[in-house]
Amino acid sequence: MLKLTLRLLPFALLLSCSSDQSSQDETDPLNRGGILNPVSVTEQNALLGTGMNMGNMLEAPSEGEWGLTLQEDVYFPVIKAAGFSHVRVPVRFSAYTGNSAPYTLNETFLKNRIDNILNSALNNGLSVIINIHHFDELYKTPAEHKAKFLSIWKQLGARYKNMPKEVFFEILNEPHENLTAELWNTYLAEALTVIRAENPNRTVLVGTAEWGGIGALTKLVLPNDPNLIVTIHYYNPFEFTHQGAEWVSPVLPTGRLWPSGSDQTNFETDFKTISNWAVAKSRPVHIGEFGAYSKGDLLSRANWTAKVRTESKKYAFSLAYWEFGSGFGAYDISKKTWNSTLLKAITGNN
C-alpha cells in the first residue's frame, strides 16, 4: 500500500498543480485565451464595424483634466446598446512611464484603468482599440524619445498578449512635425517587431504621417505583415469640420454649411483615392477618426457624418466617430442621452 501511495504521489501533485494553474488562469483578468491561430485581417476589419472614440479622456495630460473621465462600466453598455461594435481608446501612455530606461509604465494606472477598460469593453461585447496618443515629445524630438516609444509597446505587448482577437493595437496617433513620413516608416516597422515578439497574431492598426490624413498615404511603407489595418483620419473640408474650434489658430468662422459647392464631388474623390490605394496594396482600411465640431449647423454635421458612413460602407472600411461626449460628441453626458440626429447619421439606425 505504501509503494502504491508513493507511485501515485507525483500524479496527484501534477493534478494539483494543473488545477492550481487552471484556477489561476480563470481568475487572471488579463488571460482571456489569447489568439492561438492566425486571423483574417479582412474579417478583423469587419469585426470592428462602426465604433466610437472615447476622446478627451485618457489622452489628456491626466485623466479628467479636459473635463471627462472614462466611466467604462457606465458608457460601454450605452455604446453597445446604441449599435456600435467597437470603442477606440486614445491614451497618453507617455505620461505614465518612468523618466529613464526602461521607462516602466505605472502599474497602478495599467491595473486600474487600462486593464479594467479592456475587460469592460470585452464584457460588453465590444472590440477595443488602444493607441499611443499625444506623444508630443516623440513628434518634436523623435530620436530622443524613440527608446521610450518602443519600450511602451514592449510592455503593452507583454501585458496583453493573452487578450483575444477583439483587442487591437494602434501603434501611434497622427505622426507629425519632426516625425516625418520617412522616419515614421522606420519607427512603425520597429514598433511592429516589438509587438510581434509577444503578439504574432494580433491585428495592428497603422496610420499615416503628416497628421494621419490622406495626404501622406502614398508615402506610407508598410512591413511585409498580413495582419495590418491602415487607419485614416478624415476631417475634410477642414473649414467645415473645425469651424469655431478654439484650438485652431486662427479660429475658423462659423456658418459654413455642408454640402456646398464641390463638397460632394471632393468627398467622393477622397474616398475613391483611399480605396484605390487600399486595393492596390491589398490592405483593409479603418477611418479611425471623423467628426464635425458642435459649433457647426447640426443638419450639415449630420449630412456630412452620414456621408462618411455610407462611403465607408461602400468600400468596406470600418470607422470610428470622434467622439463620444465632448465638443464633437454624439452623447450628452450630463443629460445621459444621445443626440438622436447624430446617432442616426453615425449608425444608420433609427
Active site residues: 174, 289
What whole-number distance in Å separates Cα of residue 137 and Cα of residue 140?
Answer: 5
Kindly report the length of the chain.
350
Burial class (CB in 10 A: 0-12, 13-18, 19+), 82: middle
Backbone angles phi, psi at 240, to 5 degrees: -90, -50
User: Burial code of 31-57, b = ≥16 C-beta within 10 A, e = fewer?
Assistant: ebebbeeeeebeebbebbbbbbbbbbb
Cell readout for 26 is: 480563470
CA angle 154, 156, 159 (to 5 degrees): 105
Task: List the one residue out of 284, 191, 197, 203 whose CA is nearest residue 37.
Answer: 203
User: Burial code of 85-106, b = ≥16 C-beta within 10 A, e = fewer?
Assistant: bbbbbbbbbbbbbeeeeebebe
What whole-number distance in Å separates Cα of residue 217 and Cα of residue 180?
Answer: 13
What whole-number distance in Å separates Cα of residue 234 and Cα of residue 274?
Answer: 11
Backbone angles phi, psi at 208, to 5 degrees: -90, 160
- Partners of residue 131 on adjacent β-strands: 90, 170
